[in-house]
Structure 1
Amino acid sequence: MTVLNAIVDTDVFSRVYVLPRGTEPRASTWTDELADRRVIISFQTRAEILSGARQSKWGAPRVTRLQEILARTPTIYSDSEVVDAYAVLSAECRAAGHALHEKIHTADRWIAACAIAKGLELFSGDAIFEGVPNLNVHS
């Protein structure tokens, strides 16, 4: 049996794997849809999750649990393939007038670039990814 890989954005990862499921109505649907997939995150998601924990002043036990979750989660790091995908994506979104090219969406562009570079479907609840060139998004 072939296991499919999927990259999840920060919102999906945090709602399914980090935060209590009751905080997001779509969490159970995402959990079901990801059940037969190998979940991968981007370096950007890893950074956002860790930053969020620090900003929220999580205690040591909760941070330890988070670090254990992250240690089990494969991560796509920036490499030449990801950087090239980011550059192309930025230019294409700007040319198309897609809002993903705007500065406020820099983090989202990195997540999308990771998915595009590695040929993975992106699971997201964020509408900013709709209509992004060359991005296979599951929303």
Structure 2
Amino acid sequence: MKCVICGKEFSASAHARRKPKYCSAACKQKAYELRKKIGAKPDVKRARKKVTVPVSSGVDAELDKDTFERMRDGALIDTLRFNRDVLQQALGNPDTPASALAAISKQLIDVCKQIEDLEADDGDMLPASEELNDDAILTDLI
């Protein structure tokens, strides 16, 4: 193997977990200083982990870490929309058992109603408890 800094040939240790890039600690430190000086990041690309969420025996919804975090920290409407999509996928899947279709349909209708209610509420400027009253304006006080 060749060191990426000095080009010197070296042999890898049998106990190393990763393939070494540098022949010595000095070359490793020099590489660190060069990266820090130019602001570069190592060329290590990590694959995003996918989490499979079993919705039913026939439907799996795949989430990556970012999607899961947005769903967890996001608004209720986002979570409901995600649930709606998963339920629609389960309803359209031919592997979904016929005995589960009624329950899935009921859940889908409930989720759609909740989404509709939330979207309808967004148009109101004031909550129902704080209705606007038109009081008479006394112009002689102005």
TM norm. shorter chain > 0.5: no
What TM-score, normalized to structure 2?
A: 0.24
State which structure, 1 or 2, has the greater radius of gyration over its C-alpha atoms.
2
Structure richer in strand, relative to its length: 1
